[in-house]
């Protein structure tokens, strides 16, 4: 009897699944979805671009049935997660070109984060490798990532529509394009224009750009009379100088368009490999390179149309590295202009001043002079407590052991400068900040990382602020003096026993270190010869 009962049960399940498949295959136009409408007739809120689609086009299931068990067979409650995007958002006839690009996206793979972490733990020979987060095992480095870093990637499955807040992470397509949360009778809406809060959950950590751009600085000690804010994760920040672009109403996607954010399908190994945008794409040094509306690729054409920029005769600026158009820019009357996607405000984009073009400054990145400050945590201690308990962010389950972090002094000051060696044999001077100055499992590491903090100002560092500033040169904070013949330096912080350098230093005074002192294989601090040349350039 038990075998008969089991066979009958299996037959019922198979029948439900088969009816669901047949119902879906026969057609999913909105007019045939009597089953969905019988229960969800009062549903409102679907934005215009998706309103003509059937429920099953996104949610699958069996829309013709009025029986819940049948109608919900194979239902995808929250479409757009990486594990279902081929059947939902990226299905044939919809956004079918995007799943491939999203899977190769640095925000999905986290190649750079995983590579650097494993390299620091001594588990791989290089900080640059194809190391997708989905391949994490349970080594020391991988458990560290699972405990502290594993939720900040697009492949993290979204299990709830909202709220869209400081802690929102993951969700594949919805990680960026969810516009509002749902209620019982209001469908969540999507937008081609991601809101800055969608970026915040991941980008308010590490480089902290979602905080920096609005001037929010982490701090320790007395904040004085500064305006304070407590973040959802408990960190306290104070108000400082924000980015000039944000002050004028610009947001993330005003600069970072779809081809950059979603990638072009090539798997990047570090953030800078996928990011193609440069300041000089808008603040052009020479004659602008443009495209007409008719010359846009299909995706850019669609975005331009949805955002109201598809004006015939308009000439759009292009990204120098990729050739993709910046659809909210245009050339008119001999000038270059940008219209904010959020603010709707149109403003001129000025060319760099003559000082930016002076001999000796050609290799400087724009941020080297124009970024007011970068967040700097100069000392951390990371240890593993085998007796503790952690939450595995990939398995979404409790796990034995716990990684504990203790932070040191935090600063919001101009960055140190260093060198990136380019593939063509050239070099570029870029900003660097303490990336890993920490003791890990009893071993001390002093690594700086390239950074672009998004704290751009029109005002720039003074000549002395670059050439005679010990933090800029990598020595750390202290007194740098010249007696007419020789330079001397007295550090503010005590020397660490592990390597004899001050707590906040990258290199010793008039000494240097190699490529292994940074989190990239092609970046380094200044050599002694370069330091002397910098010091002597300004009387």
pLDDT in tens, 408-440: 788 999 999 999 999 999 999 999 999 988 888
* Distance of alpha carbon 204 from alpha carbon 197, whole angstroms: 10
Q: Which helix (H) or strand (E) holds 491?
A: strand 487-491
Does residue 16 have a pLDDT over 70? no
Q: How many CB atoms lie within 10 A of CB 499?
A: 12
The pLDDT score that the predictor gives to residue 248 is: 95
Would you state the pLDDT for residue 487?
Answer: 97
Summarize pLDDT for 98-147 with one digit per residue, the tens. Answer: 999 999 999 999 999 999 999 999 999 999 999 999 999 999 999 999 99
CA atoms of 249 and 227, how far apart (whole Å): 21
Identify the CA nearest to 105 among candidates 176, 34, 51, 185: 176
pLDDT of residue 34: 64
Instruction: Let me know: does 112 contact 269? Beta carbons within 8 Å.
Output: yes
pLDDT at residue number 48: 86
- At 3 the pLDDT is 46
Mean pLDDT of the chain: 89
pLDDT tens figures, 339-398: 999 999 999 999 998 888 777 788 999 999 999 999 998 877 788 899 999 999 999 899
pLDDT digits (tens, 9 = 90+) for 48-83: 889 888 899 999 999 888 899 999 999 999 999 999
DSSP state of 325: B
Q: Place 2 in a pLDDT band, splitting at 50, 70 and 90.
A: very low
DSSP string, 422-456: -TTS-EEEEEEEEEEEEEETTEEEEEEEE---S-B
What is residue 240's predicted lDDT score, i.e. its pLDDT?
94
In the predicted structure, residue 197 carries a pLDDT above the cut 70? yes
What are the helix and strand counts (H, E) for the chain? 21, 18
| Bridge partners (DSSP) listed for residue 346 | 339
pLDDT of residue 22: 38
- Model pTM score: 0.89
**Of 199, 153, 207, 157, nearest to 176 (Cα)?**
199
| Nearest CA among 417, 429, 409, 381 for reference residue 507 | 417
Confidence of residue 334 (pLDDT cuts 50, 70, 90): confident
- Which pLDDT score is estimated for 12? 37
* pLDDT for the residue 436: 86
Length of the chain: 539
Q: What is the pLDDT of residue 1?
A: 43
Res. 33 pLDDT band, cuts 50 70 90 = low
Q: Give the model confidence (pLDDT) of 296-305 as tens digits.
A: 999 999 999 9
pLDDT for position 417 = 98
Instruction: Locate 145 and state its tokens.
Output: 């990532």
Over 50: is that where the pLDDT of 89 sits?
Answer: yes
Q: Is the pLDDT of residue 462 over 80?
A: yes
Beta-carbon count within 10 A of 12 CB: 11
Question: Model confidence over 498-527: pLDDT tens digits?
Answer: 999 999 999 999 999 999 999 999 999 999
Per-residue pLDDT of 482-494, as tens digits, reads: 999 999 999 999 9
> Mind listing the pLDDT tens digit for each residue in 150-195?
999 999 999 888 778 999 999 999 999 998 776 778 898 899 999 9
pLDDT of 18 reads 37
* Better pLDDT: 212 or 189: 212
CA atoms within 13 A on the CB side of 436: 20
């Amino acid at each position: 009897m038990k075998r008969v009962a089991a066979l009958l049960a299996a037959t019922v399940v198979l029948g439900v699944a088969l009816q669901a498949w047949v119902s879906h295959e026969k057609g999913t136009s909105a007019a045939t979805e009597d089953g969905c409408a019988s229960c969800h007739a009062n549903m409102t809120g679907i934005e215009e671009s998706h309103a003509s689609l059937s429920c099953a086009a996104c949610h699958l299931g069996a829309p013709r049935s009025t029986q819940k068990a049948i109608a919900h067979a194979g239902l995808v409650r929250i479409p757009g997660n990486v594990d279902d995007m081929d059947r939902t958002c990226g299905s044939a006839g919809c956004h079918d070109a995007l799943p491939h690009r999203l899977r190769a996206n640095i925000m999905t793979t986290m190649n750079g984060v995983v590579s650097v972490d494993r390299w620091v733990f001594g588990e791989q020979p290089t900080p640059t490798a194809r190391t997708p987060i989905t391949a994490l095992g349970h080594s020391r480095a991988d458990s560290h990532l699972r405990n502290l870093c594993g939720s900040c990637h697009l492949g993290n499955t979204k299990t709830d529509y909202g709220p869209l807040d400081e802690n929102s992470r993951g969700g594949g397509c919805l990680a960026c394009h969810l516009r509002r949360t749902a209620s019982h009778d209001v469908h969540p809406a999507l937008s081609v224009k991601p809101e800055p809060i969608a970026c915040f959950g991941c980008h308010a950590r590490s480089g902290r750009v979602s905080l920096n751009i609005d001037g929010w600085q982490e701090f320790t000690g007395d904040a004085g009379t500064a305006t304070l804010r407590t973040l959802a994760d408990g960190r306290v920040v104070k108000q400082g100088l924000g980015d000039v672009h944000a002050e004028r109403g610009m947001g993330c996607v005003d600069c970072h368009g779809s081809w950059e954010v979603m990638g072009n399908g090539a798997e990047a190994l570090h953030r800078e490999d996928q990011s193609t945008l440069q300041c000089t794409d808008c603040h052009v040094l020479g004659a602008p390179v443009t495209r007409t509306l008719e010359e846009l690729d299909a995706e850019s054409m669609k975005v331009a149309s949805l955002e109201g920029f598809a004006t015939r005769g308009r000439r759009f600026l292009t990204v120098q590295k990729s050739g993709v158009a910046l659809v909210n820019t245009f050339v008119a009357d001999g000038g270059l202009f940008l219209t904010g996607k959020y603010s709707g405000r149109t403003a001129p984009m000025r060319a760099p001043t003559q000082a930016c073009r002076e001999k000796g400054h050609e290799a400087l990145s724009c941020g080297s002079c124009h970024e007011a400050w970068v967040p700097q945590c100069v000392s951390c201690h990371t240890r593993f407590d085998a007796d503790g308990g952690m939450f595995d962010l990939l398995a979404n389950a409790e796990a034995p052991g716990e990684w504990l972090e203790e932070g040191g002094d935090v600063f919001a000051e101009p960055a140190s400068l260093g060198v990136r060696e380019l593939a063509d044999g050239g070099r570029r001077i870029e900003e660097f900040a303490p990336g890993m100055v920490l003791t890990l499992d009893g071993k001390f590491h002093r690594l700086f990382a390239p950074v672009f903090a998004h704290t751009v100002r029109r005002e720039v560092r003074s000549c002395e602020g670059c050439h005679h500033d010990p933090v800029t040169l990598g020595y750390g904070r202290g007194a740098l003096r010249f007696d007419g013949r020789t330079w001397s330096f007295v550090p503010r912080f005590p020397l660490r026993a592990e390597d004899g350098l001050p707590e906040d230093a990258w290199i010793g005074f008039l000494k240097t270190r190699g490529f292994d002192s940074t989190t990239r294989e092609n970046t380094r601090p200044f050599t002694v010869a370069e330091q002397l040349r910098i010091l002597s350039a300004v009387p």
